[in-house]
Amino acid sequence: MEIKQVKLGSEKQGNSLEKAEVRRSDFFIKPFLRRSNARASWQLLTTIVPVAGLWVAISRIDLTSLSFYFKALALLPILGLLALFSSRAFSLMHDCGHGSLFRSRRLNRLVGFSLGALNAIPQHPWSRDHAFHHKHNGNWEIYRGPIDVLSLEDYQAISQRKKLFYAISRHWLMLFPGGFYYLIIKPRLTLINAMAQFLWSIGRELLVALRNKNYGRAFVFSTRLRSHQSGYGDTFAELSDLIINNLVVIISWILMSRWLGPGLFWSCYSIVMTLSAAIFICIFYVQHNFKGSYANRTDNWRSLLGAVEGSSNLDIPRWLNWFLADISFHSLHHICDRIPNYNLRACHLHNQHLLKDAMTLRLVDIPSCFDYILWDSELQELTTIKAAHSNK
C-alpha cells in the first residue's frame, strides 16, 4: 500500500527510508486533546445502565411461563445487545488505560478498573501491555501482533503438523473459543501462575537472606514475579490489580449465580463474553493485520509510518461505530493515543487530507485480513500461507 504523503521509495527491498513528507507536527491535534468529564460520564452512564437493564430483562424472561424454546428466542436479541454493550465497555476501558476518557488520572484508573471487572479482565496490566503495542506498532521484529504472528522463516522451519496447528489456531472461527479463553479463563490462570511465582520469589529471597545472615533483606522483595503467560503481573501494581480484579469478578459471579441461578447465568454470561471478546479481538486484529500493512524491521522502522500505514480505519455503520467508541478511526488514535474517543471522529475529519490514502476497510474486507498471519522479514510485509507455499 503506497501512501502519497509518505514516500517509501524502495524500502521493501531493504533500502533506507526516504525522508517522510508528512510529520507529526503536520497533524492538527491539540484542540482535540481536551477531555470532558461530562461527556465521559454520559458515555459511562449510557453503557452501564443498559447493561444492568438487560440483565434485569433476562431475569424477568426467566420468570415468565413461556416454554424453554420461546424463552431462548426472547433471550437471543438481549444477549446480542449485551455483547455489543460489553464491547463498548471494553472500548471505554481502553480509553481509561490511555488516560484519555476523564480529565483526572485517578478517575480514569478507578473507572478503568470497574470496566475491567465488568469484562472480567484486569485493566491495569492489560493497559500496560497495550501501551507496548502502541510503542512498537509496525515493528514486527519486536511486536508480532495480537496473535503472535510467525515470521516466514520460522514457519517454514516447523513440521507439517505444527504448520497445520498454526493455520487452524489463527482461523477466524477461533475468535470464539479464543474469546472465551481470553476473558473467562486466562485472567484466572494468570492469577494462579502469578501468585505461585510471587510466593516462589519471596521464598527465594528469604533463603538468600538467611544464608547470608542478612535478615533485613528478608523483608525487601525487590524482584517481583514475571508471568510467562502474559504481561499480567510484571510489577507489584499489576499483581495487585490482578488479585483485586479476580476477587471482584469471582464475587460478582457468585452473586449473579445466586440471583439468576447458575445454569441461566453461566449460559447467558458465557455467550455474552465469548461474542464480546470475539468482536473486539477481531477489530483489533484487522486494524493491524491486512494486505499492505506496514511491517518493518527495527533498523528502518518509523513510528509515524507504523501509525499511518500500520493501522487501518474502518468504514462501518455509525451505530456499530458507537458500540466501538469510534476506535475505527485508528490511524489518528495511533498518531496520538491521548485523543478521547469522543473527539476521534472530528479529529479524523479535520486531518483526513493527510490520511486520504491510508487503508480503509469495509465489513466485507474483514474476512480476507485473517489470511495475513505470516511476516516476511526479507520483503518486510505481511503475507499468507498460500503465498508462502506458492513461492517455495
pLDDT at residue 216, rounded to an integer: 60
User: Which are the contacts of 84, defined by CB distance < 8 A and separation ≥ 6?
Assistant: 276, 279, 323
Residue range 256-282: mean pLDDT, rounded: 96
Q: Could you tell me which of 136, 138, 128, 137 has the C-alpha nearest to residue 98? A: 128
Q: Provide the pLDDT confidence category of residue 219 given band limits of 50, 70 and 90.
A: low
What pTM value is reported for the model?
A: 0.85
Domain boundaries, the chain: 11-177+265-390
| pLDDT surpasses 60 at 7 | no
Percent of the chain residues topping a pLDDT of 70: 89
Average pLDDT, the chain: 87
Task: Take residue 145 and report the three cell numbers written for it.
Answer: 501482533
Rounded (5°) CA angle 169-175-180 = 105
Task: DSSP letter for 105, please.
Answer: H
pLDDT tens, residue by residue, 121-176: 999 999 998 999 999 999 998 888 878 899 999 999 999 999 999 999 999 999 99
pLDDT at residue 6, rounded to an integer: 37
Q: What CA–CA distance (Å, rounded) separates 375 from 166?
A: 14
Three-state DSSP class for residue 40: helix
Q: What secondary structure does DSSP assign to 131-200, as a single string?
A: HHHHHHTTBTTT--TTTTPEEHHHHHHS-HHHHHHHHHHTSGGGHHHHHHIIIIIHHHHHHHHHHHHHHH
User: Which are the contacts of 360, defined by CB distance < 8 A and separation ≥ 6?
Assistant: 312, 313, 314, 315
Task: DSSP letter for 218, please.
Answer: G
pLDDT tens, residue by residue, 356-385: 778 999 999 999 999 999 999 999 999 999
